[in-house]
């Protein structure tokens, strides 16, 4: 079987990082495995066992527990099912899924069924948001409410602009292995140094060193793909997102997604920090 890791030692290193990230959340959890048509999928069940269920889909070349660090404040309210996306770092199958089809949506649909739910509240950020949009297209009946945070799948920045911001420092980091170049890569997304913590630097460093899979962004959804979807959706975008431009996303989403509520994270980029007010917004959206 083709592996996404550069070596067996790389796979061990990523899984050790995964366990450290999970331990850092300082909360009891349960490991679950479900069968999907794209291979066995690992899910971490964590949070308030009496709260509403919430499926969380992580970003590209990240891990589920790293993603949970962004949304850790939600764990006291919801019973969270943080899924390891197939073909990305984590404990799921290493099956690479085509981003240009509905297969990501079919995979997410299989996960929901495998967990024993007919439908779930879902949250996806970055590439995870693009996967959630694929689910909204492929199996709209599986989504109770949808929270999209700086999502892929609606509008992309130009490859030329991304190449200047991210590509050049990434090449320099690959050559020199100097952290200052990796910080430049992250800074293009985080906008301010204060938004780059050690956990983020470590995640990027491990992914660069140990993972061979390229992050293939889910293709842009079309209005006709979402015709069957009518569940309430909360779309949160970052004002200065260099990967998925907020103005284009908002303009297209208003035409494509019915029953839509939007919010802009002012002054923030693709690597964001969620204020208490935004956490409360997400909580109330899901609960009410």
Cα 95 to Cα 168: distance, rounded to the nearest angstrom: 29
Question: What is the rounded CA–CA span in Å between residue 154 and residue 118?
Answer: 26
Question: Per-residue pLDDT for 163 more than 80?
Answer: no
Show the tokens assigned to 284.
């109330």
**Does the pLDDT of residue 214 top 90, yes or no?**
no
- Looking from the CA of 130 toward its CB, the CA atoms found within 13 Å total 27
What is the per-residue pLDDT across 39-73, written as a single tens digit (0 to 9) for each?
999 999 999 999 999 999 999 889 999 999 989 99
pLDDT tens digits, one per residue of 72-128:
999 999 999 999 999 999 999 999 889 999 999 999 999 999 999 999 999 999 999
Lowest mean pLDDT among 114-118, 121-125, 174-178, 211-215: 211-215
Alpha-carbon distance of 233 to 226, in angstroms, equals 12
180 has a pLDDT exceeding 70: yes
Domain map of the chain by residue range? Answer: 8-157+213-287, 159-210
Q: What is the pTM of this model?
A: 0.94
Q: 8-157+213-287 sits in which CATH class?
A: alpha beta
Higher pLDDT, 173 or 207: 207
């Amino acid at each position: 079987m083709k592996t996404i890791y550069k070596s067996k030692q790389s796979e061990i290193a990523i899984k050790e990082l995964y366990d450290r990230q999970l331990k850092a959340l300082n909360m009891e959890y349960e490991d679950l495995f479900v069968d999907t048509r794209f291979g066995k999928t690992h899910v971490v069940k964590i949070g308030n066992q009496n709260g509403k269920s919430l499926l969380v889909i992580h970003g590209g070349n990240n891990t589920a527990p790293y993603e949970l660090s962004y949304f850790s404040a939600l764990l006291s309210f919801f019973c969270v099912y943080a899924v390891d996306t197939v073909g990305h770092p984590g404990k799921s199958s290493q099956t690479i899924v085509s981003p240009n089809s509905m297969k990501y949506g079919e995979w997410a649909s299989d996960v929901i069924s495998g967990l024993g739910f007919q439908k779930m509240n879902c949250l996806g950020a970055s590439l995870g948001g693009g996967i959630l949009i694929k689910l909204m297209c492929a199996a709209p009946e599986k989504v109770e409410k949808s929270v999209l945070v700086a999502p892929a799948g609606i509008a992309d920045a130009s490859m030329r602009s991304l190449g200047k911001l991210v590509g050049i420092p990434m090449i320099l980091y690959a050559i020199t292995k100097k952290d200052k170049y990796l910080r430049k890569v992250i800074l293009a997304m985080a906008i301010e140094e204060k938004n780059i913590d050690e956990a983020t630097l470590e995640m990027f460093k491990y992914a660069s060193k140990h993972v061979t899979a390229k992050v293939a962004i889910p293709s842009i959804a079309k209005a006709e793909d979402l015709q069957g979807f009518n569940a309430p959706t909360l779309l949160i975008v970052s004002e200065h997102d260099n990967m998925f431009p907020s103005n284009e996303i908002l303009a297209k989403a208003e035409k494509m997604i019915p029953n839509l509520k939007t919010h802009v994270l002012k002054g923030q980029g693709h690597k964001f920090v969620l204020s208490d007010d935004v956490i409360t917004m997400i909580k109330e959206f899901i609960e009410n």
